Amino acid sequence: MAKPFAAAGQTGSARAQIREDEFAAQALPHMDDLFRIALRMTGERARAEDAVQETFLQAWKSFDKFEPGSNCKAWLFKILFYSVHHQRRKWFRFPVAGDSEEILQSVAAADEPIADKLTDEQILGALEALPPDYRAVALLVDVEEFAYREAAQILEVPIGTVMSRLSRARKMLREKLADAARSCGVLKDDSLRDAPKRDEPKEDPK
Amino acid sequence: MTQADGVLTCAEVRAGMDDYRDRRMDATDASLFEKHLASCEVCRGVLENRIALLGRVKGAVRGAEVPPDLAHRVQFAVARTRAPQRFIVGTFGKTAMSIAAALLITAGAFYFWPEGDSGPPKETQQQFIARVSSQVAPVMRVGLNQHLHCGVFREYPAIAPALSELVRDKQVSAALVDAVETHAPRGLHVVMAHHCRYEGRQYIHVVARGDGHLMSLLITRKTEGESIAGDLETTASSGPDVYSIDAFETPGYLVYLVSDKTSAENLNTLKAMEPLVKAALL
């Protein structure tokens, strides 16, 4: 494999070079995924780039602690979400989502948006309108295909919290997309109206 | 979710679709679920639509374009955290190396022997700038002089601050910093951005360096009647180093790119930066 850091210069140590190569080989392939998730979490390309750079810097600094053979992608995403959460507090941009009844009640019953009638812009707009804690779970599980257990470790919440947030996130997303579809006149089929919930999972206490 | 009569309603099936899709149902419930789906076209359609919707979400998120130079920036950011001596020794041009060494030896006396000279006569920084800049038209000296004064005659920190810090602390437009970082030749990265003053002029100065090269983007307000006319491309030599100077003007500003890159590379770099710089100056 080509040495991604070779152009930046020699380290003066074969051992250091091997370590760099390991880091490059394991971490860099996940950069695009990290950026796309960071973009959806921050809403701005510049901030997403900063978050990704910060993630790799922190990962590099603590690469000694990374256990070979463990899940590098999950490790990087854990650092990314820590970074994004830290930045979020600095930016004061996002209201941190509690499990407000107002939010949950707003998704009690949803029409079904027709997937192939929606544009990417509508989908991304609806996704970004989700409270960030819910959006994070949806991105990790539904986009990056992490297992619940991995998502729970990345976000440092109980697995039950991941499950309940995911369920609610999907429901909220459908509702928001249904609104978007309705405004475009493409939601016609009442037969696809969401059924009343029977056993909505409750969020586990942390 | 198993019902006593072993039959699920449409409402129950739709409430359990996420569990079914994510394989969170036990075998009994899944069997009942599938039994309902087999006989209910509407619920089957809802499930297919929800699965398709999640696919669309995934596709939309993954469709975002990743900045083409992000990997390069990440690598550079990582590289900057180690072996800091590499960024002090070996990344300057030969002349700058001798200047830095001389500055160290003479403890700020600002005398040096340009490499290639065997010794005296000694030359001050001011004399050096005057000698080099005398080779170009006066309007081009405006950029070249400040590159030499503020870019070449400088010791840079071993670890450059993050771009966001430069923008925040030095109050230089992020768009200008980004223009240089994005279009600087491979191996060069922004290490400094600030407002500075030289010979009565105020400049915005963005410096990129790396791989032994140094590049300055300099922006200053036009004075009355000042204009860049004719051939924009020119070069000047200090002896061992050749400086390439290119420029363009807007109604209010003169914009220079000065570097030790080849004339063609310098010009092409400025052309690439021009739209972003002009937009930033609007």
B58-79: per-residue pLDDT in tens? 999 999 999 877 887 787 777 6
Mean pLDDT of A118-125: 90
The span from the CA of A5 to the CA of A13, in Å, is: 13
Q: Where are the alpha helices (DSSP H) in B63-124?
A: 70-80, 94-106
As a whole number of angstroms, the longest Cα–Cα distance in chain B is 105
pLDDT value at B251 more than 50: yes
As a whole number of angstroms, the longest Cα–Cα distance in chain A is 69
- φ, ψ dihedrals at A73, nearest 5°: -60, -45
Q: What does the pLDDT look like over B207-226, one tens digit per residue?
A: 998 877 899 999 999 888 88
Residue whose token pair is 């459908």: A174
The span from the CA of A154 to the CA of A148, in Å, is: 10
Q: What does the pLDDT look like over B33-62, one tens digit per residue?
A: 999 999 999 999 999 999 999 999 999 999
B211: closest chain A residue by CA: A8
Q: Is residue B248 a contact partner of residue B232, using CB atoms and an 8 Å limit?
A: yes
Q: Is residue A205 part of a domain?
A: no
Minimum mean pLDDT among A35-39, A188-192, B84-88: which range? B84-88
Residues of chain A with Cβ-Cβ distance to B58 below 8 Å are: 142-143
pLDDT value at B130 more than 90: no
SS3 content of chain A, % helix, strand, coil (to 5): 65, 0, 35
The span from the CA of A180 to the CA of A113, in Å, is: 8
> Cα–Cα–Cα angle for A27, B159, A74, nearest 5°?
20
> Are A105 and A188 in the same domain?
yes
Q: Is residue A4 part of a domain?
A: no
pLDDT value at A162 more than 80: yes
Note the ipTM here.
Answer: 0.75
Q: Which two tokens stand for residue A87?
A: 């930045």
Residue whose token pair is 């030289």: B198
User: Which among B50, B60, B162 has the least Cβ separation from residue A124?
Assistant: B60
> Are A60 and A79 in the same domain?
yes
> Are A66 and A41 in the same domain?
yes
Asked if A120 and B86 come within 8 Å (Cβ–Cβ), the reply is no
pTM of the model: 0.53
Mean pLDDT of B169-190: 85
Q: Which two tokens stand for residue B266?
A: 């310098």
Residues of chain A with Cβ-Cβ distance to B10 below 8 Å are: 195
Q: Which amino acid is at A203?
A: E
pLDDT value at B118 more than 50: no
A168 or A84, which is more confident? A168
> Are A113 and A144 in the same domain?
yes
**What pLDDT does A14 receive?**
61
Domain limit, last residue, from A73, A91, A109: A91
Mean pLDDT of A142-152: 95
A91 or A163, which is more confident? A163
CATH number at residue A127: 1.10.10.10
Burial zone of B218 (CB within 10 Å; 0-12 exposed, 13-18 middle, 19+ buried): buried
Consecutive H or E run containing B143: helix B138-146
Fold of B73-281: Phosphorylase Kinase; domain 1 (3.30.200)
> Are A108 and A186 in the same domain?
yes
**What pLDDT does A81 receive?**
93
> Cα–Cα–Cα angle for B259, B190, B246, nearest 5°?
25
Task: Supply the DSSP string of B31-92, one letter for each residue.
Answer: HHHHHHHHH-HHHHHHHHHHHHHHHHHHHHHHTSPPPTTHHHHHHHHHHHTS-GGGGTSSSS
Residues of chain A with Cβ-Cβ distance to B81 below 8 Å are: 57, 60-61
- φ, ψ dihedrals at B210, nearest 5°: 150, 160
> Are A111 and A136 in the same domain?
yes
d(CA A104, nearest CA chain B) in Å? 15
Q: Is residue A164 a contact partner of residue A178, using CB atoms and an 8 Å limit?
A: no
CATH number at residue A54: 1.10.1740.10
d(CA A93, nearest CA chain B) in Å? 18
B12: closest chain A residue by CA: A198
The span from the CA of A181 to the CA of A117, in Å, is: 8
The span from the CA of A120 to the CA of A118, in Å, is: 7
> Are A153 and A171 in the same domain?
yes
> Are A120 and A84 in the same domain?
no
Q: Is residue A2 part of a domain?
A: no
pLDDT value at A204 more than 60: no
A16 or A12, which is more confident? A16
**What pLDDT does A164 receive?**
92
Number of C-beta neighbours around residue B169 at 10 A? 11
**pLDDT band at B157, cuts 50/70/90?**
low
The per-residue pLDDT of chain B, averaged, comes to: 76
Asked if B62 and A36 come within 8 Å (Cβ–Cβ), the reply is yes
Mean pLDDT of A75-92: 76
> Are A35 and A60 in the same domain?
yes
Number of domains making up chain A: 2
The span from the CA of B109 to the CA of A134, in Å, is: 62
Residues of chain A with Cβ-Cβ distance to B186 below 8 Å are: 7
Torsion of CA B247, B249, B252, B255, to 10 degrees: -20
Domain limit, last residue, from A37, A63, A91: A91
> Cα–Cα–Cα angle for B12, B18, B19, nearest 5°?
80
pLDDT value at B29 more than 70: yes
Residue whose token pair is 């980004």: B178
Domain span at A188: 101-192
Q: Is residue B57 a contact partner of residue A138, using CB atoms and an 8 Å limit?
A: yes
Domain limit, last residue, from A91, A111, A126: A91
**What pLDDT does A102 receive?**
43
pLDDT value at A91 more than 90: no
Q: Which amino acid is at A150?
A: E
Consecutive H or E run containing B259: strand B253-259
Mean pLDDT of B13-20: 87
> Are A158 and A78 in the same domain?
no
B235 or A157, which is more confident? A157
Domain positions in chain B: 10-62, 73-281
